[in-house]
A and B are shown apart, each in its own frame.
Chain A
């Protein structure tokens, strides 16, 4: 009798302190980076670099506040940023963070050409230990958002293995990363931002279903769920809906098929979608409200442009949609008629048909592809949903329509998506759109003397009364929905006020992870 009792006492004594002191947290929010945790290569571009800290950061209202920087200013010609750094910042290995590290990080990132686009940076100089100057080659008003997303790496210990063994001055340090399975982190004892309420945080990766299963067994405290599942939270968890600028739309190939190929040898152009009438008709026909109901279970809002509701959005450029009659009139006027009676229109022997590619692993994009295809069939366009891997989509996205998504806290994305210089670069401007008038507006916006002054030019790029990338102009996209990111959160977890999330269901929610609190005993 004695032994079981003592075992129980030992077990209890092991359990109790763990309960009352700092506890560990399990998150199943996906978003595992393919390339590891190297900010120089783009880690942290959306949301939060976790291991590293940034010069500035966005607060919950998206205002810029200092993180590593205590003071910052932009010169009158818009070319030089000068920042003063805090003196108490330390990397997780205990070495202090200096202006040298900042200069090193910015120089490395501008040379690496990852997702953190710094091509405009001509020089990063450390003036003294706590002051750094960033020299731009031309005015780039959106550069400020780089200051809030690029995590600083240590110049002394940065090497090729960094992405797998990150050392930074952020709130957490890595304990273990098993690719495809989980990432375990613990608080960085040297962090300058204060106490963290958890002794350990595990990020579990895997399928959507696996995360939900963890939530149902009580093993996970925060789980990202697809919008269609949001309402079915298990007991002990509450549903958290976060508003986003994370959008989904159909990206059109803009050029006719003329035998061109990308450097990788994949085809460019599509004769059907190169016709503006097709693209405009699709924008006119789509019933976006129905797509929100179908694919998002109502948890979202219709999207009409790449940045709905943000200051640089131009509502004038939108086409309201859900008007099949107008869409059909547009197609008729452009010569697309159904002459052989099969329900699909033709023009000079060319069928109004194309593939709509979606990543097979993403149930929301699949539903959007199916829903859009259904709606387009009614106006005589054959949009064939095709589930693929990202590799295949990468090969076909310049010649077929793709369900893509974007959404960022700054307008530079508008630039990348529509400027001719970014034709075929990564997943930006997949349609190889290049229009001098639009490029001129985009360049003018970046060259503006201040953020407020740039807004008019961003809007003009979408629609300036004559042309633009928006649906009324060249209709480079048919935007469909803005998501609402849904999470199941343990009722004991207080995640505090949340900002509007950018693209990426997952890591953005960890932006304020250091200030989360556990409210149960």
Chain B
């Protein structure tokens, strides 16, 4: 019994956790980040 339930639980948990990953059903696309010149408040700096 335990040998069966364990994988089932793992599968259910994995399925829910992978819910977000199931977005892969829809093809993703690459974006080219635009650059702007305006001197406004930025989130932060990687410099």
> Are these two chains actual partners, yes or no?
no
Residues of chain A touching chain B, judged by Cβ–Cβ distance below 8 Å, are none
